[in-house]
Amino acid sequence: MISKTGFIFPGQGSQVPGMGLDIFKNHPAAKDIFDQADEIFGSKLSEICFSASCDILQRTDIAQPAMLTVSAAICAILKQNSLFPDLIAGHSLGEYSALVCSEVLDFATAFKLVKLRGKLMAKAGEKFPGTMVAVVGSNKKELEEECMNFSNDNSVVIANYNGPQQLVISGTLEAIERFSALMVSKGKRVIPLNVSGAFHSHLMKPALEELVEAIEDTYFHDAKIPIVTNIDSAITTEGKKFKEKLKWQLISPVLWEDCVNCMIEQRVSNFVEIGPQKVLSKLVKRLFYY
C-alpha cells in the first residue's frame, strides 16, 4: 500500500515572534510572498512577523494575515522544489492557506479576504466580548451534553473538535468563566486560549455579512489538489463549493478530528504542517495512537 502525503495548515494561535525571517532571507519565492503582503497590508507586515512582540502578533487583525503569509511563503518554497501533497486540510484560518496551496485562490486574493476577516472578527469580539478554552479529558458526546445542560441559549458551544480528548469551547466571557469552573469541579483540565473573541460561534455573526459579501464577490477556481473542508470534513475540489462552505465557516465548528480521519482513510500517513510551529502535528499524532 502506497502512503500519501498531506499538507496541514494551522490557524490563529500558531504565530510566534520571528516567524518567516529565515525563509525571507534565503528564498526569493518566500520574499515575493512577503513583499505582496506588505503592499496589500499597507504597512510592513513582514517586519511585524520578524520583530513584533507576542502581544502584537496575538491581535486578530494582525495574526490572521501574518499566519496566511508565513504558510503561503513556506508553500511557495516547497512548490518551487516540486514538493506537492496528495491531500490538503487547514484548521480554521488555515483553510485560506490551503486554498492558496491548491490554487483555488491566488495569494493576493486570499490575503485581502483574510485581512478583512481578521478586522471583522476583532470588531465582533469587541461588540460581543467572548473567549475560548480547551477542555481536555472529555469526549465529544459528554461535552456536547454538558454544553446543552449548561444553557439553552448557546452561551457556550463546541467550536473545535480537535481530537477525542481535546475540544475547544467558545462563549461569552461570563459563561466561559462559569463553565470552566464547572469542568474543573468535574476533574477536567481547562486551558484558556489567548484569543480576542468567541470564534466559530454565533457571537461572530456581526462579522458575517460583510465577509460573506466579499467571498461572494470573489472567484474560486477548482482545486488543483483536493482539500478536506472544515465544516463537513468532505473532500472537495469544486470552486463553487469552497465559496459556499467558506461563507459559514466563521460561525460553524471546526471538525478537525474528522478532517484528519478522512485523510487517514485516504491513506495519508505523512502529514506535513506548513507553519511556524507543530500544533496540528501533535493533534494528528494523538489521533494516530488513540
Enumerate the β-bridge partners of residue 191: 134
Backbone angles phi, psi at 79, to 5 degrees: -65, -40
Residue pointed to by grid coordinates 501574518: 66
Cell numbers representing residue 25 in the block: 532571507
User: Which active-site residues does the annotation give?
Assistant: 92, 200
How far is 236 from 102, CA to CA, in rounded Å? 11
Backbone angles phi, psi at 68, to 5 degrees: -60, -45
Q: Which of these, 105, 154, 162, lies nearest to 138 by C-alpha position?
A: 162
How far is 63 from 276, CA to CA, in rounded Å? 12
For residue 252, the SS3 value is coil
147, amino acid identity: C
DSSP state of 221: P
Decide: 165 and 204 in contact? Cβ < 8 Å.
Answer: no
Q: Which residues contact 42 (CB under 8 A, 6 or more apart)?
A: none
Decide: 131 and 171 in contact? Cβ < 8 Å.
Answer: yes
Residue pointed to by grid coordinates 462563549: 171
How far is 51 from 287, CA to CA, in rounded Å? 35
Angle between helices 28-41 and 107-127 (to 10 degrees): 50
